[in-house]
Amino acid sequence: MLIFRGGSDAAQLSPEESQQQMQKWFEWVGELQGKGIYTSGEALTPEPGKLVGKGEVVTDGPFAESKEMIGGYFIVKADDLEAAAEIAKACPDLPYGGTVEVRDVVVFDNM
């Protein structure tokens, strides 16, 4: 799983540059799909959601700094974490201060 964080420097882009940046994302997804390694993914809205904690307490949030804000995720097929990290190196938001957290997803066969 690739978890996309930050990229707040992209907020400084003009509307035309923002459109070009989105096109880079579409092209990257197309490339991953063409290789048969893109499984799914979605962007998240920039508005904060709800945080549910112990005792089912629900609060507004999370309120993270923009560099820590999770903007979306992809599920990709990779042999191991190193291979997934190589895929993540092509993330279009890296030049804008974004980061990609690479995590292994556990698949339970009995579910």
List 99's β-bridge partners, or say none.
5
State residue 1's pLDDT score.
97
State residue 40's pLDDT score.
96
The CA distances from residue 106 to 1, 21, 39, 109, in Å, are 10, 32, 15, 9
pLDDT in tens, 35-71: 999 999 999 887 778 888 887 777 766 555 555 688 8
For residue 87, is pLDDT > 60?
yes
Q: Domains in the chain, start-ordered, CATH in brackets?
A: 2-102 (3.30.70.1060)
Do residues 92 and 25 lie in contact, with contact meaning Cβ atoms separated by under 8 Å? Answer: yes
Sign of CA dihedral 73, 13, 60, 5: positive
d(CA 5, CA 99): 5
State residue 37's pLDDT score.
97
When comparing pLDDT for 53 and 73, which is higher? 73
pLDDT in tens, 7-33: 767 668 888 998 999 999 999 999 999
State residue 52's pLDDT score.
86
d(CA 107, CA 5): 24
∠ CA 53-50-94, nearest 5°, is 110
